[in-house]
Amino acid sequence: MNVGRGLFRAWVLVSILWIAGAGTAAYLAVVPDTVSGNYQPVLEIRKEAWNATTESIDWNKPFYELIVSPSAEKSEVLFSKVDWEYLAEWEKGQSHKLVNFPDDSTLFVQKQYTEADKEYVVQQFWQQRWTRRGKAAGIVAAWALVPCVALFALGYALLWVGRGFRRA
């Protein structure tokens, strides 16, 4: 009787089932938020307007006296997720323009931006879609593969210990 071969076959079967189940669950949990979620551009505040805290900023000043123009600076725009508890408020809000994309992602762009900045932000968001997809793929792969590798290592270690008790 070859215990090692039997355990290896059991590991292969369990791993296939785990990858199918956990991979599907991870995909359904991660992709809707990461790839096709709701986002907003992170506003870069001018150094002159920044006085160490956001409470010290005079938000009554004109928009471009406080915020850096991304298209003028040719800067990479960062995006943050819009959490679900704020989503209804953002969708009916008057301060943001809603932009929908083919991958079912949504971008909320500040209406105070100039048309050049709006186009630049939308273009940056669409170009960064592969980064978001790569992040989602990494998370799904980790959920699906790390437990399989850990189970293999544990099983191999137990076999190694068990073989140490054999008679010569």
pTM above 0.75, yes or no: no
Q: What is the mean pLDDT of residues 87-98?
A: 75
Spatial distance between the Cα atoms of 149 and 158, rounded to a whole number of angstroms: 14
6-23 pLDDT, tens digit each: 889 999 999 999 999 998
Pure H helices in 45-83? 63-66, 70-73
What was the pLDDT predicted at 53?
66
**166 exposure class (CB count in 10 Å sphere: 0-12, 13-18, 19+):** exposed
What confidence tier does 49 reach under pLDDT thresholds 50, 70, 90?
A: low
Question: Does 93 score more than 80 pLDDT?
Answer: no
Q: Do residues 60 and 76 lie in contact, with contact meaning Cβ atoms separated by under 8 Å? A: no
What was the pLDDT predicted at 51?
67
Q: Which of 60-64, 119-123, 132-136, 156-160 has the lowest mean pLDDT?
A: 60-64
State the pairing for strand pair 38-41/106-110: parallel
Q: Do residues 114 and 47 lie in contact, with contact meaning Cβ atoms separated by under 8 Å? A: no
Q: Which residue has the higher pLDDT, 87 or 72?
A: 72
DSSP letter for 77, please. Answer: P
What was the pLDDT predicted at 73?
83
Q: What is the mean pLDDT of residues 121-147?
A: 92
Q: What is the mean pLDDT of residues 112-139?
A: 92
